[in-house]
Amino acid sequence: MHRFLLGLIQLNSGTDVDLNLQKCENFIREAASEGAKLIGLPENFPFLGSEKEKLERAEEIKTKTIDLLSDISKKLNITILAGGFPNPAPNGKVFNTSIIFGPDGKEKFEYHKIHLFDTDPGDGIEYRESRTVESGHIIPETYKSPELGNISSVICYDLRFPELFREIMKKDAEMIFVPSAFTKITGLAHWEVLLRARAIENQCFIFAPAQTGTHLKGRETYGHSLVVDPWGNILGDAGEGEKILLTEIDLEEVQAVRKKIPALKHRRNI
């Protein structure tokens, strides 16, 4: 399939897991009814609350998330990217995990976020993801979907590390998801330019479903879920608020751009 309809779901997730997942299901069903075959959810889609509660409820969040998305992907015959949710780690922390569910309802891809958001960006909130999250250590694989093409994913803060994307390109990726809960202050400054840069550098599609609005304790996320093509063009921008961003994807653009400027073939080890 060279052309297909992509659906990115932009959310304002909170602490009510059941409500968050119900919103996800409603949006997924709506996107599928419009013809979307690939649907992406943002980071923290089933829960965005306190770190303490995240740890306490990690097993519940994981189980409910996987049960829902496995079931609905099979029922609707679609592929879903679960953008980032807590997955219990052996040391008492959690992994921030993304999973791709195929149209048969089975897990096709799993990735644990490598780069953790330990920063003070200037919005009055101290972010220390490593207090509760264990860093992953495995480069994302590529799911070679017979229906859609070659799909991979990073998570949010990974966006700032271009070397990770270069490693993914060694695994034949044509599309890379960047599910995120980007802060408003950093989103205003860097979101668009970084996403476009990663698309241009790697001559691939970038799909970035995002959190939006105000969350627990005044935390603000930027929204503006984006779809960027391999030439760096923005094909879709969700702006602010909860919604579905539907975009037609022509996968032939990947090879067309790589033929125009074969930069990936011209790389040298220096």
Estimate the share of the chain in helix, then strand, then coil, as percent rounded to the nearest 5.
Answer: 35, 30, 35
Please report the pLDDT score of residue 125 as a whole number: 87
Q: Which pLDDT score, from 0 to 100, does residue 126 have?
A: 87
What percent of the chain clears pLDDT 70, i.e. is strictly above it?
100
- DSSP annotation string for 141-182: --EEETTTEEEEE--GGGGG-HHHHHHHHTTT-SEEE--B--
What is the DSSP pairing of strand 143-145 with strand 149-153? antiparallel
Q: What is the pLDDT of residue 1?
A: 55
Gap between the Cα atoms of 66 and 21, Å rounded: 11
CATH of span 3-265? 3.60.110.10
204 counts as catalytic: no
Q: Say whether pTM exceeds 0.85.
A: yes
Going from N- to C-terminal start, the domains of the chain cover 3-265
Catalytic residue among 156, 204, 220, 253: 156
In this structure, are strands 175-177 and 149-153 parallel, antiparallel, or unpaired? parallel
Q: Which of 115, 20, 26, 100 is nearest to 61 (CA)?
A: 20
Q: Of the residues 43, 110, 134, 220, which is catalytic?
A: 43
CA angle 187, 205, 260 (to 5 degrees): 120
pLDDT for 269: 81
Give the residues of the chain that fall short of pLDDT 50: none
248 among known catalytic residues: no
Q: What is the pLDDT of residues 237-252, one digit of tens each?
A: 999 999 999 999 999 9
Please, what's the b/e burial string for 217-247 (b: 16 or more CB within 10 A of its CB; e: otherwise)?
eebbbbbbbbbbbbebebbbebeeebbbbbb
217 is catalytic: no
Using DSSP, state whether 219 is helix, strand or coil. coil
DSSP 175-191: EEE--B--BHHHIIIII
Residue 190: count of CB within 10 angstroms of its CB: 16
* pLDDT for residue 41: 99
Rg from Cα positions in the chain: 17
CA dihedral 166, 169, 170, 174 (to 10 degrees): 180
Tens of pLDDT along 130-169?
999 999 999 999 999 999 999 999 999 999 999 999 999 9
